[in-house]
Amino acid sequence: MDDLRLCGRFDRQKTVVPVGPLRFGESFIVIAGPCSVESERQLLTAAWMVKEAGAHALRGGAFKPRTSPYSFQGLGLAALKILDKARRETGLPIVTEVLDPRDVPWVSEFADMLQIGARNSQNFSLLKEAGKGYRPVLLKRGMYSTLKEWLSSAEYILSAGNPHLVLCERGIRTFEVYTRNTLDLSAVPAIRELSHLPVIVDPTHGTGRASLIEAMSLAATAAGADGLMIETHPHPEEALSDGDQALPPDRFRTLVRKARAIRECWERLE
């Protein structure tokens, strides 16, 4: 992997990525919130719910990369204003996806961390723009990306000058269709071998089924992930996107409690 000049391991210490008061790579971080920001009421309810359950950062999509052009595309600027309000009220840092390189500078005024999604993980103009360093970046693995291709995308961001980068495993396409994707948990120790960057896991998109998320979150935690990204919704059956994979408040609370216990155990054994 000679092209990984900056994200390769080289026996370097693990990188710590600061996002507001959080330090990815140092402590275990849970990012949670709805797939999409749908209304002020929905997002603020979700924000308080995830905060009370122990999440450290709030996610919510303002620009949604939907397979069909007729599906809900996100509220754009209105969603970003709602996220900003949620940050002011709850103190939770905001993670939100950016789809277009032209949006990177102004979306950065609302976000504490920019998400680059699976579908855009090889959008090289977007990677270069996010690499200018407006905000720390959460780079998801493309659904068809090998580890090397994913790390090469990371290399675009680092080589453009932004050292604040966290990787997110979110499942890859395989022949299996029972789950939406196949969550590749071996990516966690493999990335640890190959790179100094923190890596978190998104079992929500990795499975696409609410019933499987807790087990895979616990497995990801035991595998040494630096954190989790979980979609939650106050009323999953009413969600405008990804309702089948959103956890309601009580199940999210249980997940965080169990993941914390596993993390404490993992830290003791390390």
Q: Which residues contact ligand PEP (rule: CB under 6 A)?
A: 35, 61, 65, 117-119, 140, 170, 205
From the list ligand PEP, Mn ion, none, partner contacted by residue 117 (C-beta under 5 to 8 A by kind): ligand PEP
When the beta carbons of 26 and 149 are compared against ligand PEP, the nearer one is: 149
Q: Is 97 in the site for Mn ion (CB under 5 A)?
A: no
- DSSP for residue 237: G
Say if residues 93 and 19 touch (Cβ distance below 8 Å).
yes
Confirm or reject binding of residue 38 to Mn ion (CB under 5 A).
no
**Which C-beta is closer to ligand PEP: that of 6 or that of 94?**
94
Minimum Å gap between C-beta 114 and ligand PEP is 12
Spatial CA neighbour of 93 closest among 121, 72, 112, 119: 112
Q: Which of 85, 87, 112 is nearest to 98 (CA)?
A: 112
Q: How far is the CB of 65 from ligand PEP (least distance, A)?
A: 6
In terms of CB distance, is 25 or 117 closer to ligand PEP? 117
How far apart are CB 262 and Mn ion at their closest, in Å? 24
Specify the pairing of strand 29-33 against strand 22-24. unpaired
Classify the phi-psi angles of 227: left when phi > 0, otherwise alpha if psi is within -120 to 50, otherwise beta. Answer: left
Asked if 138 contacts 115 with a C-beta cutoff of 8 angstroms, the reply is yes
Nearest residue (CB) to ligand PEP, 108 versus 207: 207
Contact 200, 176 (CB under 8 A): no
Residues in region 195-254 near Mn ion by CB under 5 A: 242
For tokens 């790390």, the residue is 151
- Give CA–CA dist 114/116, Å, rounded: 7
Q: Which residue is nearest to ligand PEP (CB)?
A: 117
Based on CB atoms, which residue is closest to Mn ion, 158 or 210? 210
Give contact residues for Mn ion (rule: CB under 5 A). 35, 242
